[in-house]
């Protein structure tokens, strides 16, 4: 898993960097999401976003696939080292001309809780987030919830400041970013060679960030970005799991328009796209699709 990740990181950056640089000042870094594997930001915020994909050809000429994505994040930074939040990911999946068992409206709702502590040059974070991840016909009827629709996302992360500009983070995470649920190691070396530059190199996420001005920042990041949903047919009588695996290379920027309002835009390239799902005739299939581009925008409010 680790070797695959770093191979895709090198190939993706090499092949895409020249094109994506055109977007440096056109597409501003989204507010840090309510992400279990990432440290929460040090302020309370609310954000909404929309992300649209171009169509991607299915291997073998079987058709095309594309997605629309809606994102909602809410985080309360409490005074006693706790953070509490909520997140919602809504994906509309279209696969043509295949007829899916599900209607393609996929939701993941989760409630993350973070506990952080720090002493001298060391830090520790414990994060946990119960989640429900299912198609819309399941989400609208709580009586349909079961163990297949629920997820438990969690992380234990230690940090150590190696020097003034360099910090080491390591630990374990458990979530669905690789598709099916996995518990995997987390390691990252964060280096700030200059006040305006930050390099985060590690697994599963890596990022290069630059503070363009007081109100504008931009970044290039690479990470796995899959998920798994419990889905049913329209009658809610036939059930299955829909699994999606992918890697995301994203250039994003934030513009802090006012003290409280942040506007974000991004362009991303998705590689190694793999789907496992059930069709309307109850046959189980797996297929890959070509790399595609996603463009998105978000609006955030700090409070």
Report all structural domains of the chain as residue ranges with CATH numbers, in order of start. 2-302 (2.40.160.40)
Give residue 17's region: left, alpha or beta (phi > 0; psi -120 to 50): alpha
The tokens 């349909």 sit on which residue?
144
Which residues, 6+ apart, have CB-to-CB distance to 191 below 8 Å? 165, 166, 167, 198, 199, 200, 201
pLDDT of res. 250 = 97
Compute the C-alpha angle 78/82/86, nearest 5°.
80
Which residues, in sequence order, are bridge partners of residue 174?
154, 183
CA atoms within 13 A on the CB side of 145: 13
Rounded distance between C-alpha atoms, residue 126 and residue 173, angstroms:
10
What is the pTM for the complete model shown?
0.87
Mention every residue, 6+ apart, whose C-beta is less than 8 A from residue 98: 62, 63, 279, 285
Q: What is the pLDDT of residue 100?
A: 93
Interatomic CA distance for residues 262 and 253, integer angstroms: 10
What pLDDT score was predicted for residue 34?
57
As given in the structure block, the two tokens for residue 138 are 């399941």
Q: What is the pLDDT of residue 1?
A: 53
Tell me the chain's radius of gyration from C-alpha atoms. 19
Residues of the chain with confidence (pLDDT) below 70:
1-34
- Backbone φ, ψ for residue 138 (5° rounding): -85, -45
């Amino acid at each position: 898993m680790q070797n695959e990740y770093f191979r895709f990181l090198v190939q993706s950056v090499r092949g895409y960097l020249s094109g994506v640089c055109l977007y440096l000042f056109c597409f501003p870094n989204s507010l840090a999401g309510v992400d279990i594997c990432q440290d929460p930001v040090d302020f309370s915020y609310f954000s909404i976003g929309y992300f649209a994909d171009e169509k991607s050809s299915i291997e073998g000429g079987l058709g095309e696939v594309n997605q629309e994505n809606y994102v909602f994040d809410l985080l309360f930074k409490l005074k006693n080292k706790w953070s509490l939040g909520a997140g919602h990911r809504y994906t509309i999946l279209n696969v043509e001309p295949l007829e899916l068992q599900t209607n393609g409206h996929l939701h993941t709702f989760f409630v993350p809780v973070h506990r952080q502590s720090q002493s001298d040059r060391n830090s520790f974070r414990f994060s946990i987030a119960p989640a429900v991840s299912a198609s819309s016909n399941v989400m609208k009827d709580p009586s349909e919830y079961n163990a297949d629709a629920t997820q438990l996302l969690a992380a234990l992360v230690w940090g150590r400041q190696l020097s003034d500009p360099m910090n080491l983070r390591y630990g374990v995470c458990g979530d669905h970013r690789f598709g099916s649920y996995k518990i995997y190691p987390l390691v990252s070396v964060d280096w700030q060679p200059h006040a305006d530059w930050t390099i985060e190199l590690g697994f599963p996420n890596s990022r290069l960030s630059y503070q363009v001005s007081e109100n504008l920042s931009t970044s290039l990041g690479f990470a796995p970005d899959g998920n798994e949903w419990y889905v049913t047919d329209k009658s809610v009588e036939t059930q299955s799991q829909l699994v999606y695996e992918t890697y995301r290379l994203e250039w994003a920027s934030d513009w802090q328009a006012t003290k409280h309002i942040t506007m974000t835009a991004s362009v991303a390239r998705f590689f190694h796209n793999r789907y496992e799902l059930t069709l309307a005739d109850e046959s189980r299939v797996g297929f890959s699709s070509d790399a595609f581009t996603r463009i998105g925008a978000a609006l955030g409010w700090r409070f």
